[in-house]
Chains A and B, each alone.
Chain A
Amino acid sequence: MVDVGVWLRDRISRRSVLTGSLAAVGGTAIAARSALGQSASHTDHDMAAAATDPAPHHMNAHGAMVTVGEVDNAANGFDPILMLTDWERGTVSVLPDGRTLRTFEMTAVDKTIEIAPGVTFPAWTYNGRVPGPALRAKEGERIRIIFRNNGSHPHSMHFHGIHAARMDGIPGAGLVDPGGEFVYEFEAKPFGCHLYHCHALPLKRHIHKGMYGAFVIDPDPDRRPDHAEIARSRLLDTPENAGWQELVMVMNGFDTNFDEENEFYAANTIAHAYAKTPIRIVRGKPVRIYLVNVLEFDLINSFHLHGNFFDYFDQGTTLTPTLKTVDLIIQCQAQRGILEFTFAEHEPGLYMFHAHQSEFTELGWMGMFDVVEALA
């Protein structure tokens, strides 16, 4: 009698080995083909069509492992590419004692935003965007923030900076009920790369719903005679600063199903935004990134740059690097810092950057620098 079991097992394993190896070599073939396949299926697949039209070649860098479609930036009211260089500088006036008064107007509003193609999130926002406006001031200026709460829950603005207890933005010190208003006032110090976030309770919910933003204080060169040149390069509007390409990135995530685990990760909210639209970098111009981590639920976040190394200024409160020549830094929640690097001696091309937690990378926190000779 034929031993059916053995025969059966043989057949299964032979088939499997064959298909298995096909699947293995198929990996790259699948990836390469999918980019073409997506554009080919343009007419008959709505969803796929939006994915890549026509599939740009940088998409191949991540194969088929990317979100499908495009986010409607106009409907969101903010564009992740424009956000990189969009500094909110408030309005400036001079106080009787001659000091500069910088006034920001901030409003908390509930807003449903599209955080990844086709996926909406019921966010709580500052001025209708996530992250909130990237506030920028100069060391020593008087800061006044007129904060109105048009949201459905109590909110506040808690600044990482030096200020009085009653300006802290915690319950009992600047927490604003819906419909209310509060004016926070303090001196801009210390210089560095900071952040603000809502400190209403429960804290986790208020942060992950979108209430945070970067808060950058430029050093005053007059107060830093030892490093006046470096300080001037960090001070917005100086010719020295104009020689830099400055970007602000707030690393965040979204728990769309509210299970206290993020479904999407990104820098500046939109998953894979800078993978699909790489950030243009002029080769000869040094790059400075103001990087803030506000990721909720996960313990840490990180930033890794491909093919290059950078100097790192933890919290940006020094004018000499706290870490020299690294290609990876980690940040816990609310940690932030400044990255400085240059592609001057690199050949033009696409240089990837991402969190080096593969999980975050594969769930959206991945982007590309498109290093070019000159901006067209």
Chain B
Amino acid sequence: MNKVVTIGSPARSRNHWLWIGLPLAALAIAVAWIIAVNPLQGLSNGAPAVEKLTFERVVLDTSGLHLLVRAGGAEPMTIAQVQVDGAYWQFTQDPPGTIARASTAWINLPFPWVLGETHTVNLVTNSGITFEHLIEVAVPTPTATAGQLKLQGLVGIIVGVLPVAIGLMFYPALRGVGQSGMNFLLALTIGLLAFLLVDTIEESFDLVVTAAAVFQGPVMVVLAGLASFLVLMAIGRRRGTPTGLALATYIALGIGLHNLGEGLAIGAAFVAGSASLGTFLVLGFALHNITEGIGIAAPILKERPPLWTFAGLTLLAGGPAVLGMWLGSLAYAPQWSALALAIGAGAILQVIVEVGAYLMRRNQKGLDTFFTPPVMGGLAAGVAFMYATAAFIKV
């Protein structure tokens, strides 16, 4: 066979290009014909074009309200009038004119909003269709000042870095555990990760329904999660199944991606004014995340990693919370937060699989490992602890 056509032969190469070019040319001709002749106009039933508008960002400052909207209709859209709390207000649009499908524009309103109260913005398009956005609690939108970044960084450290560090500080105490204790801790890790997986997926889906249809929310979440899972599995297993420090690092990465999503959510809630970020809430997050450190420590209990690796693992798992806070409050859009959470979900799934595999290998009992009392107990304890502490942060 390779006698007939060798891979590099010019004839074969020309044929290749021909068979790529021909279908593309057919497509181009078909598109041109459909546009030019418009044979589908019989389908038009006189109904107005579908209009869709999504609100992606809202900024409140001393000059009024500013809303970033994304058009998602079948045709370019025109915003004709804007109501705030049932009254028409002068507005400017940037850029002005029609908003093409999938593109965005800022709507600026010189509206004297009231601190701490609710406002409703209603955009009226040229066909009279309305799109409403509720500003639940009007507070000034944080701007990227040094003080603001420092403040948010601090909150990120408290909810992300601090609990992981505290969890890892149990390391010396945990080193002495026996086989059952080790099984319990690894199962505890799987339990807490399972909670995070469910929580992350749920939050991701919640967010993505508010995003523009053009992003195909649920499909994006599922595909991004699966892709991140498969890529991390492939990377992790380049040199066999990960154990010890490598496994701890993957756990830290998965938790880090989850914390990034969590930071995005807190930052966005902060901007939207829906979270007052009281002491209670911040401490609740910190408590909720303490088991994460224990989970990271579990695979390296029988090793003696250098001290700096603990710092590295802490930063990898907790640092993204800081980054998330910044991104979430300064450049929030639901689809990007959902994407981050979906990638996090994939990473968490990878870690669950790897910790489970590690657990089975240690015990040489296959799947039966999971039905031993220490493992069942650990799984239950992990999920229960996360569920119970989550009560602090669900407001």
Contacts and interface: CB of A to CB of B under 8 A. Distances in A.
Interface of A: 3-6, 8-9, 11-12, 15-16, 19-20, 22-24, 26-27, 30-31, 33-34, 37-38, 41, 44-48, 51-52, 64-69, 115-121, 254, 256-257, 263, 271-272, 359, 362-364
Name, among B97, B110, B147, B279, the residue most crowded by chain A CB atoms within 10 Å (CB to CB).
B110
Contacts of A30: 63-64, 110-112
B8 interface: no
Given A116-B80, A119-B80, A119-B128, A45 B279 contact: no
Contacts of A115: 128
A119 to B, nearest CB: 5
B134 to A, nearest CB: 17
Contacts of A67: 81, 88
A48 B96 contact: yes
Interface in B265-313: 276-280, 282-283
Nearest to B140: A19
17 contacts: A5-B282, A23-B62, A23-B113, A23-B114, A23-B115, A30-B63, A34-B90, A47-B93, A47-B97, A48-B90, A69-B80, A117-B80, A118-B81, A119-B80, A119-B127, A120-B127, A121-B128
A16 B128 contact: no
A26 B124 contact: no
Given A23-B115, A119-B127, 14 more contacts: A19-B62, A22-B62, A34-B90, A37-B110, A38-B90, A46-B97, A47-B97, A65-B87, A65-B90, A118-B126, A120-B127, A120-B128, A121-B128, A363-B83
Interface string B85-126: 011111111101100000000000111111110000000111
Contacts of A118: 78, 80-81, 126
Given A26-B112, A46-B97, A257-B128, A4 B154 contact: yes
B63 to A, nearest CB: 7
A119 B124 contact: yes
Interface in B140-154: 140, 147, 151, 154
Contacts of B83: 263, 363
B130 interface: yes
A8 to B, nearest CB: 7
Contacts of A65: 87-90
A23 B112 contact: yes
Given A19-B62, A19-B115, A48-B90, A256 B127 contact: yes
B158 interface: yes
A30 to B, nearest CB: 4
Given A33-B110, A64-B89, A67-B88, A119 B126 contact: yes
Given A30-B63, A45-B93, A118-B80, A8 B151 contact: yes
A307 B168 CA distance: 75
Given A30-B64, A65-B88, A362-B86, A16 B139 contact: yes
B351 interface: no
A257 B280 CA distance: 44
Contacts of B110: 30-31, 33-34, 37, 64
Contact of B283 (A5, A31, A34, A263): A5
Contacts of A41: 92
Contacts of A8: 151, 154-155, 277, 279, 282
A174 to B, nearest CB: 29
Interface string B69-88: 00000000011111100111
A16 B86 contact: no
Contact of A5 (B79, B115, B126, B279): B279
B234 interface: no
A60 to B, nearest CB: 12
A4 to B, nearest CB: 6
A22 B64 CA distance: 11
B82 to A, nearest CB: 8
A22 B63 CA distance: 10
Nearest to A119: B80
Contact of A68 (B87, B90, B125, B139): B90
B353 interface: no
Contacts of B147: 11
Contacts of B111: 30, 64
A254 B111 CA distance: 25
A24 B112 contact: yes
Given A117-B80, A119-B126, A271-B88, A4 B96 contact: no
B128 A363 contact: no
B278 A256 contact: no
B129 interface: yes
Contact of A359 (B86, B277, B279): B86
Nearest to B78: A118
Contacts of A16: 115-116, 139-140
Nearest to A115: B128
Given A118-B80, A271-B88, A257 B129 contact: yes
Contacts of A257: 128-130
A358 to B, nearest CB: 8
A119 B62 contact: no
B90 A66 contact: yes
B140 A15 contact: yes
